[in-house]
Amino acid sequence: MAKMKFHVDSEQNPTKLGLGMYSKEEEYVDFSEPCDCSGQVECWLNRVLDCMRATVRHEMTEAVVAYEEKAREQWLFDYPAQVALTCTQIWWSTEVGIAFARLEEGYENAMKDCYKKQVTQLNTLITMLIGHLSKGDRQKIMTICTIDVHARDVVAKMIAQKVDNAQVFLWLSQLRHRWAEEEKHCYANICDAQFLYSYEYLGNTPRLVITPLTDRCYITLTQSLHLTMSGAPAGPAGTGKTETTKDLGRALGIMVYVFNCSEQMDYK
């Protein structure tokens, strides 16, 4: 969140009632309920934080349900970029889960059908990118494209390795988002670790291309988080250690801040 929009009274003076938030990319999202920003700063900033999380969660609840009700290329533009991307990942996990269930029932081409659907969705997004889009919408579609390419590759790899159930490591080692309908919460699962999505508003940010090394890094970092330990990616400068960590944060709905510490800097 970079800026807030405040309610304006009849004399065009801003009041202390927050109506919505802007990201640094100028994407605007209305709060699900207006936020009272009066009183002490440490109190109203906490209310803004709660309001932000409630709004992202509310948008996600609506988006997950609406996904099946209209064409995906229309649905994408109805919700903020972060919500559209996360719900796309939720539905990918769901569709692969359905394909595994159909495989177990004896339908041999279930995973191949899932792959065909992935390719069709990807081709639709590419066609949209060729057309006229605003800067924000183009960034949103490009980010979803990046994640969809990885999703397609994972399904292709499972077909090549003849994976026939959901307990195989190739599938369990993927960062999978799921929606718990009773709790109205999003969870991110990887191996035996499960994280509650943090619903922090991140804006319309680009995402990294996921390589096998990224996957392995995700597994290591999430396992250390799961065990309440820490992780330290190591390697030459400019290879993407910081960006990979920030990207994992984005996948979990957490804003990651980087502090470059020198010998002169102490905890005081």
Q: Which two tokens stand for residue 190?
A: 């990887």
Tell me which residue of 135, 94, 48 sits closest to 86, measured CA to CA: 94
E-state strands within 127-251: 176-180, 185-190, 193-196
In degrees and rounded to multiples of 5, residue 252 shows phi and psi of -100, 5
Q: Is the whole-model pTM more than 0.85? A: yes
The H-assigned helical ranges of the chain are: 41-66, 72-75, 81-104, 110-130, 135-160, 169-172, 212-226, 241-251
The pLDDT value given to residue 11: 83
Residues in a beta bridge with 177: 188
* β partners of residue 188: 177, 195
Q: Which domains does the chain have, with CATH numbers?
A: 3-66 (3.20.180.20)
Is the pLDDT confidence value at 70 over 90? Answer: no
Structural element, H or E, at residue 36 = strand 28-36
Q: What is the pLDDT of residues 230-248, one digit of tens each?
A: 999 999 988 999 999 999 9
Q: In the prediction, which pLDDT does 268 show? A: 64
**Mean pLDDT within 103-107:** 89
Note the helical H segments in 161-267.
169-172, 212-226, 241-251
More confident of the two residues 223 and 106: 223
The pLDDT tens digits for 187-219 are 999 999 999 999 999 999 999 999 999 999 999
Instruction: Look up residue 17 and give its DSSP letter.
Output: E
DSSP one-letter code for 161: T
C-alpha 23/C-alpha 12 separation (Å) is: 24
